[in-house]
Structure formats: C-alpha cells, structure tokens
C-alpha cells in the first residue's frame, strides 16, 4: 500500500455479506464529526462567530475542541478490527506493515496540505504551521502500531504511562512549543497517541461484551470515569486543546465515549436510521479533502464581506451549502460504490 486509493466498496448500505460489517453507531458519530469539522472550520475565520464556538487559544474547552479527539477515538475503535482482518488473511507482519504505511501516508498527506496552507495563507505571528490534524492522527497511529497486538490491559497501561509522561515533559520543557504549534506539533503527538491507544483498549472490551446493554454500560462507565478524573486533575493540570494536556485528552475521551454510547444504542436498534449521516461517516478522508476545497474560495478570496466580515445570514447560508454538498457527495460515493482508503 503506497498511498490513498479510490476503490469500490462491496455491497450496498447495510449489506452484512461484505468482508466486514459497518458499525452504524461509529459511522453516524464520525459523520457528525465530519460535518461539525466543516462548519466549524468555516466559522473559525468569521468575526461574528462567538469564541465559545472556536478553539480555545490556551486553557479552556469549547465544542470545537471536541472534534479532533472524536476522530482519534473512533480511529482507535476501528484500527483493531482492521489489523485483525489483515492478520488473519496475510499474517502479523503484513498487518503491522499495512498500519505503519497507512500512518506514514497520513503524515505525508498532512505535510503537503500544511505546506500548501502556509504558502497560500501564512500562520499568524507567533504560530508555527508545521503540523496538522492528519499528521497528528498519523503519528498517533504509528505509535499505536507498536502496541496494537498487546492485550487490552497492557495497552491501557501504556496509554496512561504515555499520557503521564507527556504531561511531565509538557510542564518541564514543551509548553511554549506545543501551545504555539498548530495541532500541538510533534511533541503533542505523544498525547494524541495516548488517546488512541486508550481508545483501542476500550474498544476491545466493547467488542467483547456479550450484549448490547453490556457494551453500552461499558463505554458509559469508562466515559464517566474518564471525565471525573479529568475534572479532578484540572486544578493541577488545566484542560486545554492548545496544550494537548492529559486532562484534555481524558475529558474528550470520556465525552466521545458517551456520544458513542448514544449513537450505538440508537442505531443498533435501528441500523437504517440516519443513513445520510452514516454515509458521511463512511468517507471521512475524501470529505476532509472536499471541505478544504469548498472552504478555499471563501478564505482565500480576500473579500471580507464574503467571509471574515460576513453577516450571520450569509455565513449560515455558506455553512448550510457546504454541509449539503458534503452530504450529497457522500451519497454519490455510496451510490457509485466509491471509497477512498489508505
């Protein structure tokens, strides 16, 4: 596997005869994350959009700060089965090679995107635009590759140790670098990796649960415990996406698990519900590229009346048009049987 490929996915929506079944709850929640990301990225540069809908510059937490962790946690829920399928078909070496190459491909694609963004629109003074969300996910996945075959409890311990070690290094050496680098830079990748590793451990327990009720109970219990620990530690280690702090990772892990419990409980009972949102969740990488292309004419036009200084009515119209375009594109991909995979 050398890079992204557009391929046909086998079978129509809901066809359980394909080589692996989709999980409606995961697809639905990922779809929500994709659409929230697109609308949120549009709003980041608009003056009237309130700060509580934008990323926090340092300490604090907003709705926007939950989107990237949702992708990381859901990746943790899907990496294990993907590796296992390849392990059963081709062996351990091939499975780990696939995950490593996929991780490096994400880092490479992300590097090209961030380089293009820097050329078209340099980062604000004092901000280092050398790292992006795809690099963070790719780096986290690469670290996860080293422990993905370990037992769940081992991965849970590794995740906690990684998070604690990162927090110590952040407080002692890295704070200024991490805060002033988009998506926390290479040092912050340790925290994102800890989040993904912890998610894989929870996912194994979730899949092993004997019933839907037990699965829901597990993710709710772990989610609430994670949130409680984050809030208890917050006075000593402030919550903040810009810091990728341990408390931020634990809080977003817990919130994502609670959302996943809601989506899986609802869509396990009615797997054909919210199909439009599930379709969006099946094509996150393709729609990530699509939202960048849709956003570029507005952010690069130089016309503040269309973007930065646009009135609420125009911004909402643009956000609605972008969201509708992504939903339509996801539907087209499903009808044609197309899927962009690494």
CB-facing half-sphere around the CA of 55: CA atoms within 13 A: 22
Q: What is the pLDDT of residue 2?
A: 42
Q: What is the pLDDT along the chain (342 residues), one digit of tens a residue?
A: 344 555 555 443 333 334 457 899 999 999 999 999 999 999 988 999 999 999 999 999 999 999 999 999 999 999 999 999 999 999 999 999 999 999 999 999 999 988 887 766 666 666 777 788 999 999 999 999 999 999 999 999 999 999 999 999 999 999 999 999 889 999 999 999 999 999 999 999 999 999 999 999 999 999 999 999 999 999 999 999 999 999 999 999 999 999 999 999 999 889 999 999 999 999 999 999 999 999 988 887 777 899 999 999 999 999 999 999 999 999 999 999 998 888
The answer to whether 288 touches 4, Cβ cutoff 8 Å, is: no
**Residue ranges per domain, the chain?**
21-341
Q: What are phi and psi for residue 127, nearest 5 degrees?
A: -115, 135
End-to-end CA distance of the chain: 7
- Token pair belonging to 327: 């939903």
Please give, one letter per residue, the 3-state secondary structure of the chain: CCCCEEEECCCCCCCCCCCCCCCHHHHHHHHHHHHHHHHHHHHHCCCCCCHHHCCCCCCECCHHHHHHHHHHHHHHHHHHHHHHHHHHHHCHHHHHHHHHHHHHHHHHHHHHHHHHHHHHCCCCCCCECCCCHHHHHHHHHHHHHCCCCCCHHHHHHHHHHHHHHHHHHHHHHHHHHHHCEHHHHHHHHHHHHHHHHHHHHHHHHHHHCCCHHHHHHHHHHHHHHHHHHHHHHCCCCCCEHHHCCHHHHHHHHHHHHHHHHHHHHHHHHCCCCCHHHHHHHCCHHHHHHHHHHHHHHHHCCCCCCCCCCCCHHHHHHHHHHHHHHHHHHHHHHHHHCEEEEC
Other C-beta atoms closer than 10 Å to the C-beta of 252 total 25
What residues contact residue 296 under an 8 Å CB cut-off, 6+ apart?
A: 120
Q: What is the pTM of this model?
A: 0.92
The two three-digit tokens of residue 295, written as one number: 């956003």
- What does the block give as tokens for 185? 């830079």
CA angle in degrees (0–180, nearest 5) for 300-55-191: 115
Pairing verdict, β 338-341 and 5-8: antiparallel
Neighbours of 260 (CB within 10 A): 29
pLDDT of 80 reads: 96
pLDDT score for 29: 98
Report which of 330, 331, 323, 325 is spatially closest to residue 37, judged by C-alpha positions.
Answer: 323
How large is the angle between the packed helices 24-44 and 246-269, nearest 10 degrees? 130
pLDDT of the residue at 1: 39
Q: How much is the pLDDT for 14?
A: 37
Encoded tokens for 18: 């394909």
Residue entry with tokens 């070690």: 165
The residue among 8, 39, 10 whose CA lies nearest residue 326 is 39
- Determine the pLDDT at residue 304: 87
């Amino acid at each position: 596997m050398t890079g992204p490929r557009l391929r046909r996915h086998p079978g129509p929506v809901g066809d359980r005869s394909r080589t692996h079944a989709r999980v409606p709850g995961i697809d639905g929640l990922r779809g929500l994350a994709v659409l929230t990301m697109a609308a949120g990225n549009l709003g980041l540069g608009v003056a009237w959009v309130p700060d509580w809908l934008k990323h926090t510059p340092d300490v604090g937490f907003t709705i926007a700060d939950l989107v990237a962790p949702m992708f990381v946690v859901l990746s943790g829920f899907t990496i294990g089965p993907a590796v296992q399928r390849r392990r059963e078909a081709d062996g351990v070496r091939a499975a780990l090679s696939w995950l490593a190459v996929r991780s490096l491909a994400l880092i490479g694609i992300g590097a090209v995107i961030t380089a293009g963004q820097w050329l078209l629109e340099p980062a604000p003074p004092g901000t280092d635009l050398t790292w992006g969300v795809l690099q963070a996910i790719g780096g986290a996945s690469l670290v996860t590759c080293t422990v993905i075959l370990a037992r769940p409890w081992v991965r849970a311990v590794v995740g906690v140790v990684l998070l604690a070690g990162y927090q110590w290094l952040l407080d002692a050496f890295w704070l200024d670098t991490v805060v002033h680098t988009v998506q926390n830079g290479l040092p912050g990748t340790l925290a994102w990796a800890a989040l993904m590793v912890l998610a894989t451990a929870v996912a194994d327990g979730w899949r092993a649960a004997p019933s839907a009720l037990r699965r829901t109970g597990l993710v709710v219990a772990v989610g609430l415990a994670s949130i409680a620990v984050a809030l208890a530690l917050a006075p000593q280690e402030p919550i903040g996406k810009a810091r990728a702090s341990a408390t931020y990772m634990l809080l977003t892990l817990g919130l994502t698990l609670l959302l996943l419990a809601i989506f899986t409980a609802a869509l396990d009972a009615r797997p054909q519900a919210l199909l439009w949102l599930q379709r969006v969740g099946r094509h996150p990488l393709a729609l990530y590229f699509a939202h960048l292309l849709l956003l570029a004419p507005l952010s690069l036009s130089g016309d503040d009346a269309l973007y930065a200084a646009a009135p609420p009515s125009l911004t909402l119209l643009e956000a609605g048009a972008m969201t509708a375009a992504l939903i339509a594109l996801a539907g087209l991909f499903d009808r044609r049987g197309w899927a962009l995979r690494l």
